[in-house]
Amino acid sequence: MKVIWAALRPPARAAIGALLLTGLAHAQTTVSGPVRTNQTWGARGSPYMVDADVAIEAGAVLTIEPGVTVRLGANANLVVSEGALRAVGTVAAPIVLTASTDMPGGSPAAGAWGNVSFLEGTSASTRLEWVQVNYGKGILIQGASPVLNYVDIRHSSGAAVQMDLRSSPSGVGLQASGNAVNGISVPAGDISGSVQWNLRGIPYVVAAGEVSVGARPKINAVSPTTVQQGDMIDAVLSGSRLAGAESVTADAAGVTVAIIAGASDSSVPVRIAVTRDQPAGKVNLSLQTAAGLVRLPAALEVIPARPTVRVSSMTPSYLRVGTSAAFQMTGTYLNGANIALPQDSGMTLSDLVTTETTANFKLTAVQQAPLGEKALLVTNATAPDTSATVKLSVVNGAPAVSTDPAQISIAPNAQANSVTLRLSSADVIAHDLSLALDDPDIATVSPARLTIPAGAQQATVTLSGLKVGTTMLTATSPTLATIKFPVYVGSIADGTVIGPIVSAPVDVKVFFAPNVFNGGVAVTGKPVGVQVFSVSNAFEGPTTISGKPIGVHVFGTAGAAVGEISTYSKTVGVTVKKTQ
C-alpha cells in the first residue's frame, strides 16, 4: 500500500484523501441532549459519538439497530427518564456501548464514561438484547423494570448492574467480567412493595447490611440516653416492629443490657448496668427481634460517675392502716440515707438499717391514716443535690374471707360441688391462696392454689365428698390470715337405707318416693338447713326434728303424714332414720 500510495501523483493523492475523509464523515454521528421524539440510531450512522448526556424524555422511544456502536465520552450517560430504549442486537451483530477511546490506538479504562440508567419513568417496553456495555460505570436501575437479555457488561468501575429495592428487572443470559463487582449490586434496606428479581446469569450481591422483605425493626430513641459509670438504670427503647424482642447487646465490655417485662411492638423496657471501669463515651446498641436485628449507633452515653441517690425498687409497695410492716429499698448511695415521710401521713418509720445498695426499715400506719398514694423522699449527705422519690400506697385493712354457702355440706358421692370464697371487699392487691383439707379421705378440693386478683372479690373452688364425716378446709395466704372452714359430708337416702349423719346435719336433703315404707323420720342434733321431702303414700309415721333446728323445712303432699317439729334434744350424734 505504501508503494501504491507513493507511486500516485500528487493530484491523485489529493483526490483519494478527500474521498476517504468524506467517507469517514458519513460513518460517524455525534449526538447529545434530550430525546423527546422517537429516534432511530441505524447502522448507516454508526458509530455514534456521545459527548454529553443523552436523556430519553416525554415518552419518546430511542431505537438502536443491530450492529451499531455507540462511543460515549468522559462522564456521558445514556439515561431513560420517561420513555423507552429498545436496543435489540443479534448474535452476529451485537450492539456495543463503549468508551470514546475504545478504538485502534486508544487506551480505554474502566469508568471512562457514565451509566446506562433506567429511572422510574422507564417504559415497560424497554428492552436490551445482545448488547455489550464496556468501560463505563455499569447499568443503573432505579424504580424501573427493563428487560435485559444476553447483555454482556465488561470493565466497569462499579458493579455490572446496580439496582434499588423498588426495581423488578428481568432477563436471561447476562454476563459480567472485569468489573468491580461481577454481579447485580443491591443495597441494604426494606422491600415495602411487591418486586421480582428475575435477572439470570450473574448473581445478586448485597455487599453490606440486610435486605428485609417488609419494614425492618427500627429503634428511634433510647430514654434516658445517659448512664453513669458504676450505675444501673431502667430505660426504654422506642421504635417500630420491636415485637418478639429477644436480646439487647452493647458494643462495650462494661455495659450489659437485659430486657425486662412490658415489651411491645413499639417499646422495649431494659435494665442497663455499667461497670465502674467502663470508659466514658458513646455506646452502640443492637436489638434482636422476631423481625430481625436492628442497631442504633451512639444510642447510649456513659458519663463519669458522680454520687447519686437512686431507688430501683421497694417491697412491699403498700401498707395497711392499723398495721406495721417491714420494707426494703434497693438502689445506689443508700448507706446513711434519710427517708422522709409526708406530713400528716399517719405513718411512722423505725428500725432503719442501710448499706450501699439497700435500706431496711419498718413502717407503721395508724388506723386513721389517710388512704392513697404517698411519696417517700430519700436523701443522703454523701450524694448532695440528688434525691429519689418512692411511691407507697396506704390501703384499708385486709378483707375478711367467707364461703358461699356459709355452711359447707356435701354428699359422699364424689360429685363436684361449687363453693365460692368471697372477700368482704375488693382489695388493691392480689391474694394467692393455698387450699388443703385436714382429711383428704373424707373430701377433696380443687384447685389446690388460686388467686383472687386485685379489684376482684371472689373465686370458686370445687369440693367432692368421698365418705361420711367432717373435715376442715384450710386456706393460707401470705397476704391474708389463715382461715379454716368445716366441711360436712352427710348421708343420703337411697330409697331403702338411710345412713348416719356425723355431727350437725347441714343443708341435707332427704327424699322419700311413693310406697317406700310406712314409718316416720327423726332428725336430731342441731340440724341446719335440713330439707325432708315426702310425697303421696311415702310414709305414715311422724316426722320428728329436734335439737334447736335452724332453717329446717319439711315438705309433704296429699296423703303424706308430716309430723310435728319438736326442739327438746341437744344430741350431737345425729341420725336420720325411719321410725315405726
- Asked if 340 contacts 320 with a C-beta cutoff of 8 angstroms, the reply is no
Cα(37)–Cα(210) distance, integer angstroms = 41
Q: Is 160 left (phi over 0), alpha (psi -120 to 50) or beta?
A: alpha
- Asked if 84 contacts 35 with a C-beta cutoff of 8 angstroms, the reply is no
DSSP helix/strand/coil, 43: helix
The pLDDT of residue 410 is 85
- Asked if 157 contacts 180 with a C-beta cutoff of 8 angstroms, the reply is yes
- Residue 448 neighbours by CB under 8 Å, 6+ apart: 434, 435, 436
Query: Sign of the CA dihedral 503, 505, 507, 513?
Result: positive
The pLDDT of residue 217 is 86
The pLDDT of residue 397 is 87
- Asked if 469 contacts 502 with a C-beta cutoff of 8 angstroms, the reply is yes
The residue ranges of DSSP E strands in 369-515, in sequence order, are: 372-379, 388-395, 401-404, 408-410, 416-423, 431-437, 443-446, 449-452, 458-465, 469-476, 483-489, 509-512
pLDDT tens, residue by residue, 400-457: 899 988 888 888 889 999 999 999 888 888 999 999 999 999 999 999 999 999 889 9
The pLDDT of residue 21 is 41
The pLDDT of residue 81 is 96
The pLDDT of residue 286 is 94
The pLDDT of residue 363 is 96
- Full-model pTM: 0.45
pLDDT tens, residue by residue, 334-361: 999 999 999 999 999 999 999 999 999 9
pLDDT tens, residue by residue, 462-495: 999 998 888 999 999 988 888 898 988 875 443 3
Domains along the sequence of the chain with CATH: 25-212 (2.160.20), 218-303 (2.60.40.10), 310-395 (2.60.40.10), 401-489 (2.60.40.10), 492-580 (no CATH)
Does 553 have pLDDT greater than 50?
no
DSSP string for residues in 405-419:
SSSEEE-SS--EEEE
Cα(307)–Cα(383) distance, integer angstroms = 5
Bridge partners, residue 574, by sequence: 501
Cα(2)–Cα(5) distance, integer angstroms = 5
